[in-house]
């Protein structure tokens, strides 16, 4: 064998090792459709409209652009634009990721192509990760494409570049976690609609269910006169992905300003000692030794990792029902 042939062979093996075949094929199929650029265009137009409307709504606090408080008012506008854009982007992740990921394995079962995929040389882990990566790649593109709009808030003021980058990276991590949980559910179902319904149900439990649970415990404390029941149950809030984004996006809530933030009520769940009517209360919960977002993100990663381990075992060998 000539040296050139050996070099080409080595490059081929290296490329095959680095690129997941399932991921490569799924990305080609998903990105070559006309729907992908159309969704991206509409998405950016909607976010641009949200940024414009937020600017118009919050600019009313600038009574006199030349007074001594104008710099603070402008900073509030910039931070308001950033927070509202991030909030809608987060809602988009919760809405799109389960729908695009829940059918990655169940859809293969419906098309009767799962067994041929399982008997290839690909490992079950490669199949699962390739499917998850392809399903979340477009969501990641949407998040990254909104960076210019988020950095507009930095140019106006009120938010730092590090806060923007940290929020975007956290949102990407949340998208991957939800995708992993939805894909794990997909390995247990035979039909895509069932997997989609269960995935949205799980997201609803993580978002609203954890809040309702803590609220119910707080009501029980009031009725029974006991103390500490709600505080003990507050640990389930670490499984709420929306609160992770909230804690990263807001270093402190804006109760003492005229800017309205969608994250302020959520911040009260993270730091119950905050006082919405006390301007100095914004610093009440800032003495935590371990940030909420770190423990919460770790809890979600452990949950998603466990789900992936179980899902991988489901794909190890073709089950009798899949033959």
Instruction: Find which of 138-142, 271-275, 300-304 is predicted with most confidence, using mean pLDDT.
Output: 300-304
Cα separations in angstroms, 191 against 104, 147, 210, 301, 314: 10, 36, 28, 27, 16
pLDDT at 306: 93
- Classify residue 8: in a domain, yes or no: no
- CA angle centred on 64, ends 62 and 69, rounded to 5°: 70
- Classify residue 292: in a domain, yes or no: yes
Calculate mean pLDDT across residues 245-254.
74
Domain that holds residue 264: 19-322
User: What's the number of domains the chain is made of?
Assistant: 1
Calculate mean pLDDT across residues 59-70.
56
- Classify residue 5: in a domain, yes or no: no
Calculate mean pLDDT across residues 98-102.
88
Tens of pLDDT, residues 26-52: 777 777 777 778 888 888 899 899 888
- Classify residue 157: in a domain, yes or no: yes
Backbone angles phi, psi at 111, to 5 degrees: -85, 0
- Cα–Cα distance for residue pair 244/193, rounded to 1 Å: 29
- Classify residue 1: in a domain, yes or no: no
- Classify residue 266: in a domain, yes or no: yes
Q: Which two tokens stand for residue 279?
A: 């301007």
Q: Which two tokens stand for residue 125?
A: 């882990």
Q: Are 131 and 22 in contact (CB under 8 A)?
A: yes
Q: Examine the pLDDT at 168 and tell me if it is beyond 50.
A: yes
Calculate mean pLDDT across residues 104-124.
79
Range of weakest confidence among 58-62, 303-307, 317-321: 317-321
Q: Examine the pLDDT at 285 and tell me if it is beyond 50.
A: no
- Classify residue 10: in a domain, yes or no: no
Which among 73, 67, 63, 136 has a CA at the least distance from the CA of 101?
A: 136
Q: Examine the pLDDT at 197 and tell me if it is beyond 90.
A: yes
Range of weakest confidence among 72-76, 121-125, 159-163, 310-314: 72-76
- Cα–Cα distance for residue pair 125/321, rounded to 1 Å: 20
Q: Are 254 and 246 in contact (CB under 8 A)?
A: no
């Amino acid at each position: 064998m000539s040296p050139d042939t050996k070099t080409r062979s080595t490059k081929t093996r290296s490329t095959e090792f680095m690129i997941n075949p399932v991921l490569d094929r799924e990305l080609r199929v998903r990105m070559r459709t006309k729907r992908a650029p159309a969704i991206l265009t509409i998405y950016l137009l909607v976010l641009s409209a949200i940024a414009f409307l937020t600017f118009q709504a919050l600019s009313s606090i600038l009574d006199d652009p030349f007074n001594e408080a104008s710099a603070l008012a402008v900073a509030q506008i910039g931070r308001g634009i950033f927070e509202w854009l991030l909030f809608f982007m987060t809602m988009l992740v919760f809405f799109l990721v389960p729908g695009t990921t829940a059918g990655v394995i169940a859809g293969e079962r419906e098309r009767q192509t799962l067994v041929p995929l399982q008997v290839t040389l690909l490992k079950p882990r490669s199949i699962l990760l390739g499917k998850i990566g392809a399903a979340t790649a477009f969501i990641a593109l949407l998040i990254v494409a909104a960076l210019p709009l988020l950095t507009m808030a930095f140019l106006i003021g009120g938010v730092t570049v590090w806060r923007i980058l940290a929020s975007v990276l956290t949102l990407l991590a949340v998208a991957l976690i939800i995708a992993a949980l939805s894909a794990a559910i997909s390995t247990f179902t035979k039909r895509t609609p069932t997997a989609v319904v269960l995935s949205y149900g799980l997201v609803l439990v993580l978002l609203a269910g954890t809040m309702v649970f803590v609220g119910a415990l707080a009501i029980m404390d009031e009725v029974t006169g006991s103390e500490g029941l709600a505080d003990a149950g507050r640990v389930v809030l670490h499984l709420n992905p929306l609160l992770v984004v909230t804690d990263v996006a807001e270093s402190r809530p804006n109760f003492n300003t005229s800017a309205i933030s969608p994250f302020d009520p959520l911040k009260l769940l993270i730091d119950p000692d905050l006082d919405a009517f006390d301007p100095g209360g914004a610093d009440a919960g800032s003495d935590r030794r371990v940030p909420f977002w770190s423990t919460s993100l770790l809890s979600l990663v452990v949950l998603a990792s466990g789900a992936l381990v179980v899902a991988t075992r489901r794909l190890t060998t073709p089950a009798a029902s899949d033959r």
